[in-house]
Structure 1
Amino acid sequence: MAAMSAADSVRLDRWLWAARFFKTRRQAVDAIKGGKVDVDGVRAKPARAVRIGQRLVIRKGPQTFEVHIDGLAEQRGPATEAQALYTETPDSISARERQREELRAASAAQPRPDHRPDRRDRQRLADFKRGDRD
């Protein structure tokens, strides 16, 4: 692969960006500094060098990814090359699928209105929120 690095290690923030876990390096740095990324079970810093074979735990919002590094890259490339840089553990995949199903079930259980509110409904709602109860 052309995106693979010849070096034996890469900065963690660069790897997360190249592997497409974050859209920008700034977002990767913020996530790392916020304690959302662990390398081999230890909280990391953005400049930490990662190597092939290490295990990362990445928390993005409600999702948690547990991956093993299979390749190194310093440049962001196509998504197919980015997916070749890591392997997600089966436990991580099943946990994310289970969470996705729970969210689907929760959103399906919420009642939905049968129509959009018209002008009168919006005015009544605004009055209610302001505390005007004629």
Structure 2
Amino acid sequence: MASPGAAGSIRLDKLLWYLRFARSRSVARAMVAAGHIRLDGRRITRASAAVHAGATLVLPLGERIEVIRLIALPLRRGPAPEAQACYLRLDEGAAASS
């Protein structure tokens, strides 16, 4: 099986787990199935949806909403700094005021 970066896309549930937005892939699948995640403005309900670098994701995380742009595909579930290097937060102003 090829690495996620080699194909140019990665499954949404795997991405959420790699980027540490979910504690496990099953939790990530449940987040997607709930229908609250948006990928480039479209509501996504399939955990197998392909995500490419440059995509914008809107994620509900507890009481807040995270808007991120994926700048690189992660190759593994590594330490938090490695995961955070793969995306940019687009709502920094909202996070700073809370």
State if a TM-score over 0.5 links the two structures: yes
* Aligned residue in 2 for 1:15: 15
Q: Kindly indicate whether structure 1 or structure 2 has the higher relative contact order, using CA contacts under 8 Å at least 6 residues apart.
A: 2
Structure (1/2) with the larger helix percentage: 1
Deviation at 1:74, TM superposition (A): 5.0
Query: CA offsets, 1:3-57, max 9 Å, x none?
Result: 9722200001101110111111111111111122110111112100000111000
AA paired with 2:28?
A: A
Distance 1:79 1:7, change over 3 A: same
Structure (1/2) with the larger strand percentage: 2
Q: TM-score normalized by structure 1? A: 0.65
* Aligned residue in 2 for 1:29: 29
Identity of aligned residues (%): 35
Q: TM-score normalized by structure 2? A: 0.88
* Aligned residue in 1 for 2:68: 67
Alignment of 1:41-56 (within 5 A): 41-44=41-44, 45-56=46-57
- Structure 2 alignment gaps of length 5 or more: none
* Aligned residue in 2 for 1:40: 40
Rg (Cα) greater in structure: 1
Deviation at 1:75, TM superposition (A): 2.4
Deviation at 1:95, TM superposition (A): 1.3
Deviant stretches of 4+, over 6 Å: none
- Structure 1 alignment gaps of length 5 or more: 101-134
CA RMSD of aligned residues (A): 1.7
